[in-house]
Structures are given as structure tokens and as C-alpha cells.
Chains A and B, each alone.
Chain A
Amino acid sequence: MALIEFQNVSKFFPHSTGRALLRTHIAHWFGADHKEKFVALKNISFQVAPGESLAVVGSNGAGKSTLLSLAAGLATPDQGRVLVNGHVAALLELGSGFHPDLTGSENLLLNSALLGRSRKQTLALAEKITEFSGIADFMDEPIRTYSSGMVMRLAFSIAIHTEPDILLLDEVLAVGDAGFQVKCREALSDFQRAGKSILFVSHSDAKVREMCERALWLDHGELIMQGDAAGVLDAYSGRLALQQQAGEQAT
């Protein structure tokens, strides 16, 4: 059984804002369908098997983040079905749940609660999380005094300790200094070795090759190619090089 399965999934976003928004809502209530819709994903199907790690590549606006948010259950598809079997942890924009005036420990508690852990589990894990983050000395200081690297360290440590079956990563591996990056990498490989899956969005060719066996290539919401990571990446970077060449010729 696949951990994540997308069946012909499409996702649209509304275009209008402000005053036009109210008009669109009213039209919608009266049954008129709005014409202006942005297609973020178009008829996407793929599966992630247990123990498999899948990378999603593509240029900005290709629909990568939308795909992750659908897999995380944050958004619902407009067409098709998204099936998820197992506990998902999404490491999207780390630290977005932090409040600058609360201390590290207080934020740890709050974030952990939001991620779905009970008080008991949180308190049991708190020490491990603090230790992993390597900022134990600052846990009683408000987050606003932290450097951005420290905030990321704490956020990553909290998220990685949720013990998920599936991890969704959105460009978050560039966390902290070299030492911490090594630690993160190790934690992720341990995770993979334990037979769990990662869905990984990245612009870094090297990281994708290192971590994932398979890859998806999205462009303007459409699935261009899926298959083994090396093949997809070669095709993707080939296309990028072509576009660059075309751009140079044009100018």
C-alpha cells in the first residue's frame, strides 16, 4: 500500500482579491461559477511507497508547494483524490508558529501542541529536542533575541522529533551552520533507514541525488516527467540550460 497516493489531482486558486472578491463570492452563492481561476496543479498522479523518498523539482510557481500542502492535508484537491496512510509531518517554513516574545521552552511546548503531541509526550521529548537543537543555554530567552539560525535549529528539532511515517520537506535543509547540517542529514538518513518516506522539494541538485531515488518534475502545474531521480534531474537541468541559452540569444 502506498503511503501517499495522488489520483488525477487538480487544484485551482481564486484570482480575485479585495472588492472583486465580494462580487465573486456573491456570484458564486447564486450559482455562477467564476471564470478566473489559477491552475496550480493539473491532473497529477503519483505514488510514494513505504521506505521510498521522492523529490519534487521544478521552477518557481510550478506547483511544488501546493503539492506538499495537499499531501499535508492543509488544502483539499478540487478534482481527484489524495490518499495518505500514516502520520505526516510537514516541515514547511520552519518556525512559522513561533511567537517572538515567548521563550524557547514556551515555544517548544506550543509548537509541539500544534503538531499534535500531548503534554506528556512533549515533556518526555523536551530534553531530547533541546539537546538536538544545541541551544540549551538559550531556552529561557525570548525567541526574538535568537539569531535566525538558532530559530531554525529549534524548529527543525521540534519537527523531526514528531516521529512521523512521512516527512514533507520544503527547502528546509539549509538549516543552521555546517555542524548542524551534518546532524540534520544524519537524522534524515536514520529516518530513511527506518523504512520511512520523505517527500522533498528542493532546488539543490546534489541534495536530491543524495537523498531520493525517485523524482517528479512539475512545470506550471503539470507533471512533465517522473522516474528515477538521476534521469529526471538530467532532463530538468538540460531543459534549464536550453532556456538559458534561448534567453541569451534573445538579448
Chain B
Amino acid sequence: MWNGDYWFVITSLVAKDFKVRYRNMSLGVLWSLFNPLIMMGVLTFITTEIFANSSVQNYPLAVLCGLVPFNFFSLAWLTGTVSLLENASLIKRVPVPRQIFPIASVLSNCMHLLIQIGLLLVSVLIFGRGVNIYWLWLPVIWMLEIVFVLGLALAFSAVNVYVRDTRYVVESANTILFWLVPIFYSFSAIPAKFRAVYEFNPVAALVMMMRTILLEGRAPVFSTLRNLICVSLFTFISGWFVFRRLKPGFYEYL
């Protein structure tokens, strides 16, 4: 039916999101930097001054290693989930392949991610942790995380067309996840019996690997990496099938 240029459509949609988000802001892209920096400051203050039990070295940096993946994940998941509804007018008028919308929405969050990763790497250098060979792992683990979010976005955006409450489920899950992902505490603080659960949570796994690579200067732990690969691929494939299964009804329910 539609035999257009997938890449052109996706890049156009990503460019649209980017332009629309920043065009009318006086500070533009700087907003992508302020948010994690402010959160980093607040969390550092609470943990080091109020609870005052920080055994973690370079605490602000460790927090930033948690915030950047978490921010990307929660925002990409949420905007991916609502992407079909937000583009309902297009879906009902243009026979463009539907999966383009959640995919483009996740990819446009990757633009902000790049800015935030830049911030993180600069902070790492400022804190005196140099570049190491294991940085080469970063693109790999981030690709896996993006694949994971793409799978979630496909599945949840499709379900959200039928049951509109889905977006609130995602919002609540994100709030809970903020506490369950080791953002402002370290993995070693988690009791041994819960560790296995953390190892299978791709967001937690990513945070742990970011810290291992950037702060400790070591290669990611093999078992965590293996789990991340399995969970990401599984999520993506299931998301794709859920989307395909639900797609025929989009027109009626939008």
C-alpha cells in the first residue's frame, strides 16, 4: 500500500519533534541539561547532608550515572506510549505504516539522550576520572537499552489505543521505578536476596554498567550484559508482535 521512504519519514518526524520542542524556548537545548543537573544537586544534598550516610565516592557523579538512563527511559516510554494517540489525526488520514510513530518518538528522545550523555561524559572528566578503553562499551549498552524501549513503546502504544488508561499505568510505573532503580543508592547497598531482580531490570542494569565503566573503569559484568541482551531482544520481539496483532483495529478505536 504505502511504499515510501521509511528513513525519510522517521528523520522528518524526529526533526519535527526536536524543532517543535525547542523553537519557542529562549534557552532552547539548555533545558535538556538543567533538569539532570538540578536533580543531581537535590539528590546529592538529601543523601549527603540530610541522611548523611554516603559511603559512595564521587556521589554527584554516581547520581548522574543513574539519572541520565532513568530520564531517557521514563520519557521515551511515556512519549512512545502516547505517540499513536497524539498522531491520531494522521493515522486516520494517511496510510503511513503505523509503527513509525512509536519508533520516531523513541528516537527523538535519543536526541536529548545524546545531549545528556555529553553532559555526563564531561562531568566524568571534570571529576578527574579519565577516558578508558571500556568507554567503547557505552554505544553497545545504549543500543540495547534503546531496543528495549522500542519494544515497550510498540506494545504500550498499541494497547493505549484500546485502553486509554495505559498511559497512567506507565506514569505510575515510572514513579515507582525511580525508587527501585539504583539512582541515588549503589548496587552494593541492595540485600543479596533482591539482587537477582535488579539484574534483570534493564534500566537498573544500564545504571550499574554505566557506573562500572565510567566510575570504576572496568568492563561491564558479563551476567548483567547477558541478561540485558536477552531482556531487550525479548521485549522488542514481543512488542513487535503485540503491535502487529493490534494494528488492524487502530482506525476504529482512534
Contact = CB atoms under 8 A, between A and B. Distances in A.
Asked whether A and B interact, the reply is yes
Interface in B196-229: none
Interface string A11-37: 001100000011001000000000000
B24 A114 contact: no
Given A21-B162, A102-B20, A96 B253 contact: no
Interface stretch (B72-80, B86-94, B106-114, B186-194): B86-94
B4 A113 contact: yes
A13 B254 CA distance: 11
Contacts, number: 90
A101 B23 contact: yes
Interface in A178-197: none
Contact of B96 (A102, A116, A118): A116
B252 A106 contact: no
Given A14-B252, A101-B24, A96 B5 contact: no
B195 interface: no
A72 interface: yes
Chain B at the A interface: mostly helix, strand, loop or mixed?
Answer: helix
Given A21-B163, A25-B163, A74-B251, A97 B93 contact: yes
Interface stretch (B8-16, B32-40, B43-51, B56-64): B8-16
B95 interface: yes
B154 to A, nearest CB: 18
B91, B95, B248 — most chain A CB neighbours (10 Å): B95
Contacts of A69: 92, 251
A116 B252 contact: no
A116 B229 CA distance: 34
Contacts of B89: 93, 96-97
A110 B12 contact: yes
B90 to A, nearest CB: 5
B248 A76 contact: yes
A115 B23 CA distance: 25
- How many chain A residues sit at the interface, stated as a range, is 20 to 34
A93 B23 CA distance: 27
B46 to A, nearest CB: 38
A101 B163 CA distance: 30
Interface string A75-98: 110000000100010101100110
Contacts of A122: 8
B133 interface: no
Contacts of A76: 248, 251
A106 B19 contact: yes
Given A114-B4, A117-B4, 20 more contacts: A25-B162, A25-B163, A73-B1, A73-B2, A73-B95, A74-B92, A74-B95, A74-B251, A75-B251, A106-B15, A110-B12, A110-B13, A113-B4, A113-B5, A113-B8, A113-B13, A115-B96, A116-B96, A118-B5, A118-B8
Interface of B: 1-5, 8-9, 12-13, 15-16, 19-20, 23-24, 89-96, 162-163, 165, 248, 251-253
5 contacts: A74-B93, A75-B252, A88-B1, A97-B94, A117-B4
Closest A-B pairs by Cβ, 7 of them: A116-B4, A75-B251, A118-B5, A113-B12, A96-B89, A73-B1, A113-B9
